[in-house]
Amino acid sequence: QSALTQPPSASGSPGQSVTISCTGTSSDVGDYNYVSWYQQHPGKAPKLMIYEVNKRPSGVPDRFSGSKSGNTASLTVSGLQAEDEADYYCSSYGGRSNLVFGGGTKLTVL
């Protein structure tokens, strides 16, 4: 199973919105609504931000939203804050009881 494709970096100024893409195939992102997004600060464990494309776990600010179109999922962070600076990873169920991750995107708050 190939990794999902994410841009290596993204950036935005405080208060702005930024969108991170996650491109898979018709066998993973395109075929299942099991896309998740994780935030990871340096030296810390990942934190679930979005699951099932657009669901937010309790405690995650509504500034974080997810969507999907075809084989590409997206994470949008609105009203950027300094603490949003982190690595972000997407994942998708890939069929045959297999989970695949994206390579990660480093989000910089300018």
Partner 1 sequence: EVQLLESGGGLVQPGGSLRLSCAASRFTFSTFAMTWVRQAPGKGLDWVSLTSATGGSTFYADSVKGRFTISRDNSKDTLYLQMNSLRAEDTAVYYCAKRVTTVTTWGFDIWGQGTMVTVSS
| Helix, strand and coil percent figures for the chain, each rounded to 5 | 5, 50, 50
Report which residue type is found at 28: D
Looking at residues 84 to 103 of the shown chain, list those that interact with partner 1 (rule: CB under 8 A): 89, 91-93, 97-103
Distance CA 109, CA 98 (A): 33
Residue 63 found at the interface with partner 1 (CB under 8 A)? no
Rounded to a whole number of angstroms, the minimum distance from the CB of residue 6 to partner 1 is 9
Rounded to a whole number of angstroms, the minimum distance from the CB of residue 15 to partner 1 is 28
Where on the chain is the footprint of partner 1 (CB under 8 A)? 1, 3, 32, 34, 36, 38, 40, 45-48, 50-52, 55, 57, 89, 91-93, 97-104
